[in-house]
A and B are shown apart, each in its own frame.
Chain A
């Protein structure tokens, strides 16, 4: 069960992009609260601003106006070093296209956030093994991404996102490049991890049925605005 403690609070957040002469408002005066332990799905069509909102909350981008507080800390006020630390210590990320580095083995990919966090080597190998076991890829640790299936790659990316034991997991269309059966497996794994580790998950998707089955809450975006919020029955599984 999600706790009621607010983890993320977005207040009147806007994000503008300039495309030549045109100003595009990807996120428009959006306010949203996310509680600790919640599984929130950001739903919307292409160009609705859901990925932009995710990037802002993940500390990859800065809002043009407004504030995003995470555990009381305003991300917009952090310098680039502070944002990097936030991404390293608080956030885990999973992408639609997996983004495993092709030159590295699965094990090395998963180890990467620990290298950046300067975790010592013995601790690293223990945590990498643990993360790979959690996503059931212990046997594929020496394989390169090109030797893995799409589902395995996404599970590997999930292990990489989890290895730093983040408080929040951001998933940007995690099933977008997978067939529906594999996509479902990934989401089942996400729920399982959430249940075990109690982390907050924020997932961007445009597949409403999946969002309804796995999320606690759905926030619907359109033209950069929050147009609807739906609390889901948490029992809706598998």
Chain B
């Protein structure tokens, strides 16, 4: 899979503050890439550099092989939903989108059609004649998303697309983003780890301006090598049970939780994880344990906590 976006040795500093430090990252073509990290991790700064809004202090950013410089911004390659950019309050929603579409070289008719289509996709068709100032925060956010849907840009960047939205709207927008992914490379940053986990094919975790983990979602979560078996109630002989599970072929370390109601099972061969799952379940049921569920890999939240804690 070739890289849609490449960052090589990218750093960005504001005076003495290093917002991003020596970031090397490849975002594969066609991926839905989640960029996560705690506040101040450098996500928005990284977004700004990918979009051409911010100039890296050092390093190179390439979008589809196109080296971004001050004279060669990613115009025509990238459309982004910036986190805190405002739309003109005194204009109608449709006028704003038509203007943005016209800047992309469309005729007025084409721009109007594309703008209406984009508004329909984000569920704002009926508000097209309303002034921006009359929209709620969530509706403005959706207009912001709509402007990324105008044109055929290969890469779309969403910086906190669902921040401040109600759960239903956030879910709908999540589905929309997922549907867009069929045709484009999408990068999204979010504090909502469940959202990133459910939507993204890949992820990178940033902390204090540094990359602490990156890869496919399975790699990040260890899906191919780690199983979690949740029990309906704790077992008394958790250590013995763990030893029995560890004896199964291609099972490595088995760790019971302190509450004795959950086992972490490491699989030494990712290819055989299905067989291991079956064997582990069979062993537990035979021993009389009551299995509530099985999870592949760690939850993204756990990985996030581990990786960001490790860098403290």
Partners in one complex: no
Q: What residues make up the interface of A, taking CB atoms closer than 8 Å to B?
A: none
Q: What residues make up the interface of B, taking CB atoms closer than 8 Å to A?
A: none
